[in-house]
Amino acid sequence: MTFEELERRAQHEWQALKESSVPLIQVGTATCGRSAGASAVVDALREALQKEAVPALIMEVGCIGLCFAEPLVTIHKPGRPAICYGHVNPERATQLVSEYLLKDNPLSDWALGTVGEGSVEGIPELFQIPVLKPQVRRILRNCGFIDPTNILHYVAQGGYTGLARALGMERQQIIDEIRRAGLRGRGGAGFPTWRKWQFCLEAPGEPKYVVCNADEGDPGAFMNRSLLESDPHSVLEGLLIDGYTIGAREGYIYCRAEYPLALERLHIALAQMREHGLVGENILGSGFSFDIHIKEGAGAFVCGEETALIASIEGRRGMPRPRPPFPATSGLWGRPTVINNVETLAGVSLILQKGAEWFAQYGSEKSKGTKTFALVGKVKRAGLIEVPLGITLREIVYGIGGGILGDKRFKAVQTGGPSGGCLPESLLDSPVDYESLTAAGSIMGSGGMVVMDEDTCMVDVARYFLDFTQKESCGECVPCRLGTKQMIDILTDITAGKGRVGDVELLQEVALAVKKGSLCGLGQTAPNPVLTTIRYFRDEYEAHEQGRCPSKVCKALIRYRIVPDKCKGCQICSRACPVGAISGERRQVHTIDAVKCIRCGVCLEVCPARFGAVECVTGQ
C-alpha cells in the first residue's frame, strides 16, 4: 500500500466516523482518566447501551488536558455538535444514555462545552471556556480526540505527511527548516534542535543513532506521558524524521517502566507502523531504512541526563560522564547520537507537516512555538496545558488555572520540576520563556509547574525537593554526592528548630559550590529551589531561625492548644486524637499534653467550626 492509498483509507474511515448514523461516545482513558474511574465509566456505558438497546460506538481516547474534571465523556449525536461532559461517574454515564441519547435531554449542568459547528442551548463552546480559551493546542491537537491505538486516525489528521515531505528533501534542507522554526529542546536546557542535528550530521563515524528521551521523572509532571498515551505517532514520526536527517538506521525510545500505558501504546503504534511500511526496510519506497527499539528504564531520575541515559541503554549503570565529548559526536556505543525529548520530536513532526513559518507564529523572539505544562498544586483547574511561549505566569495561574484553591493568597510557583526555582508573587507578570526563567533563578525544565498558596512553608518546600534530588543523585561526583547531603542536613535542622545563626549563609555557600562543581545537570540544578527560596523568601528562613514557622507547617516549630473560653467539652477532639494526648471530662475544658502530642493536626480538623476551640500556634 502506498502512502497515498493509506491517506485515502484513513480519510475515508475518519469521515465515516464523523458522518456516522449512530452516536459516537469518546471516553478519556489515559492514566489521569483511568485513575479517576474512566474504566468503570466505559463498563457502565456499555451496560446501559445494551440494556436500552441503543446502537452507539464507544471510542477510548487520550487526555484532553482537563484533569480537574476527569473522567471526561464526549458524545457526538448525528447532526449535533459534540458535548463534552466532566466528572462522569458510572451513575452519570447511565443517565447520559437514558436522558441524552434516548430523550434528547443534554443535561446541561454536567456539560463542560460543545465541540464542532452548531450550539446547544445553555452549553458554551468548549474551546471558549476559560481553561481552554487562552491555550494554543498544537502539540496536543489530537489528544483526547483520536484513538491513539488507531494509526488511521493520526494519518487522517495529516500524520506522516511530515515524514513523506522530509524523505523528498536534502538533509541540510530539513535542518534549515528546523532552524527557521526556532525549535529549542523541550527537555529543559532549550538548546537549539537544529544545531544538535547539525553537529551529529557533520560528525565522523558510523553508524549514527537517534534517541527519544521519555524518562520523565519530575514529581507532578506528566506532559510526556500524556502525549505518548494520547498521540504516540506524533512522537514516532519526529523520531523517523530525526533519523533520516542525520543518516541513522536505528532509534531508541527510552521510557521509564512506571509508564505502562504509554509503553503499551508505543508497542501498538510500532506494530501498526511496521504493518504499513512506515518503519523497517525501504520506508515509503524511499530507500531509507530505519528501525525503532523501546528501552524501559528502571526509574532513576538521573537517567534523564543524556550521558546517564546512554549508559543505561548500553546495559551499564546509569551514571553521567564528563562532557565533552558530547553525545552528538560520541554517544551511544561511542557513535554520533542525537537525543531529543518527547515534545521536541512532536514539534519536529509539526514543523515538517506545516512549515517553519507556521510553527514560529507563536512564541517570543528567542523562544518560538508553544510549550506544554503540567499545571498542578494549589490551583483550581489542574491539568495538562499548552500555551505560547512568552505568556505570563499570571495568565497561566489565574487565566487558565482559575486561581488558587479556596481563593487563598498565591505565594509561589515552581517551574522546572524538583530542580526548578520557586518564583514569588512579584514575578507573576514575568514571561514564560527560557531566558526569563533562567534570569529569575529557575528553569523551563520539561514543563512541570507547581502552584503554592499562603499555607505553604517555603523552607519546607526547599527541603522536600532537595531531599528528592539528593536521593536521586548517582553519587559519582563529590559536589553532588556530599554537597546535597550537607544541604539537606542544614535544611532539616532549620525545619526541626535546630537551626543556628549563619546556617542560611552556609546553605547558600554550599548551594553555589554544588551548582558550580557538579558533573551533570542534576547536581548543577539541584540547588535551585534552595537558592530561589532564600532569594525571594529570606524572611521565612529568618523566622525559622527564631523558632517560628509562619505557615505553621514545620512540626517542631508549632504546637496545638485548646482555648479555654471556647472549649465546650464535647470530647470530639479527644476521641479523634490517635495518641491520646487530649484529656478532659465531658462538658469540661480539655487540655493537650504537649509531650504526647505528635502535632498531626487532627484535633484542629475535627473541632466544630462553631466552637473553634483548637488553634495552632508557632514560636514560644
Indicate the SS3 state at residue 56: coil
- The domain 12-128 having CATH identifier 3.40.50.20: the answer here is no
For residue 180, the model assigns a pLDDT of 97
Instruction: Name the residue ranges covered by the structural domains of the chain.
Output: 12-128, 160-359, 370-453, 458-545, 555-618
Alpha-carbon distance values, 6 to 91, 152, 153, 332, 368 (Å): 40, 8, 11, 34, 32
Alpha-carbon span 275 to 266, nearest angstrom: 14
Write the class of the CATH domain 370-453. alpha beta
Q: Are strands 250-256 and 209-214 parallel, antiparallel or unpaired?
A: parallel
Please give the average per-residue pLDDT across 409-428, as a whole number.
94
Please give the average per-residue pLDDT across 53-61, as a whole number.
96
* Domain covering 555-618 in this structure, CATH number: 3.30.70.20
Handedness of CA 545, 550, 555, 560 (dihedral sign): positive
- The answer to whether residues 393 and 411 touch, using CB atoms and an 8 Å cutoff, is no
* pLDDT grade for 496, boundaries at 50, 70 and 90: very high
Please give the average per-residue pLDDT across 265-281, as a whole number.
97
538-545 helix and 458-472 helix, angle to the nearest 10 degrees: 100
pTM of the model: 0.94
Other CB atoms closer than 10 Å to residue 324's CB: what's the count?
8
For residue 189, the model assigns a pLDDT of 78
- The domain 160-359 having CATH identifier 3.30.465.10: the answer here is no
Please give the average per-residue pLDDT across 108-118, as a whole number.
92
Task: Give DSSP secondary structure letters for 72-120.
Answer: -EEEE-TTS-EEEE-S--HHHHHHIIIIIITT----GGGEEEEESSS-B
Alpha-carbon span 371 to 346, nearest angstrom: 11
For residue 219, the model assigns a pLDDT of 83
- The answer to whether residues 383 and 67 touch, using CB atoms and an 8 Å cutoff, is yes
For residue 118, the model assigns a pLDDT of 82
Alpha-carbon span 234 to 148, nearest angstrom: 10
For residue 620, the model assigns a pLDDT of 62
Paired with 214 in beta bridges are 255
Alpha-carbon span 446 to 200, nearest angstrom: 23
Residues 6+ apart with CB under 8 A from 610: none
* pLDDT grade for 117, boundaries at 50, 70 and 90: confident
Handedness of CA 181, 182, 183, 186 (dihedral sign): negative
How does pLDDT run across 7-37, given as a tens digit for each residue? 999 999 999 999 999 999 999 999 999 999 9
Please give the average per-residue pLDDT across 366-394, as a whole number.
96
Does pLDDT of 619 surpass 90?
no
Percent of the chain with pLDDT over 70: 100
How does pLDDT run across 287-343, given as a tens digit for each residue? 999 999 999 999 899 999 999 999 999 999 999 999 899 999 999 999 999 999 999
Does pLDDT of 144 surpass 70?
yes
Indicate the SS3 state at residue 125: strand
CA 13 to chain centre: 32
Does pLDDT of 561 surpass 80?
yes
* pLDDT grade for 220, boundaries at 50, 70 and 90: confident
Task: Give DSSP secondary structure letters for 494-512.
Answer: HHTT---TTHHHHHHHHHH
Mean pLDDT of the chain: 95
How does pLDDT run across 153-172, given as a tens digit for each residue? 999 999 999 999 999 999 99
Q: Which of 152-161, 214-223, 534-543 has the lowest mean pLDDT?
A: 214-223
Alpha-carbon span 183 to 193, nearest angstrom: 6
* pLDDT grade for 187, boundaries at 50, 70 and 90: confident
Paired with 374 in beta bridges are 384, 448
Please give the average per-residue pLDDT across 356-372, as a whole number.
95
Does pLDDT of 446 surpass 90?
no
For residue 113, the model assigns a pLDDT of 96
- Three cell numbers at 340? 531529543
DSSP H/E element including 388: strand 383-388
3-state secondary structure 239-299: HHHHHHHHCCCEEEEEEECCCHHHHHHHHHHHHHHHHCCCCECCHHHCCCCEEEEEEEECC
Does pLDDT of 116 surpass 90?
no
- Three cell numbers at 136? 494554543
Does pLDDT of 478 surpass 70?
yes
Indicate the SS3 state at residue 413: strand
Burial class (CB in 10 A: 0-12, 13-18, 19+), 82: buried
Alpha-carbon distance values, 77 to 20, 72, 146, 180, 574 (Å): 9, 16, 17, 43, 56
Please state which of the four CATH numbers 2.40.50.1020, 1.10.3300.10, 3.40.50.620, 1.20.1440.230 is assigned to the domain occupying 458-545.
Answer: 1.20.1440.230
How does pLDDT run across 250-272, given as a tens digit for each residue? 999 999 999 999 999 999 999 99
Handedness of CA 179, 183, 189, 194 (dihedral sign): negative
* pLDDT grade for 146, boundaries at 50, 70 and 90: very high
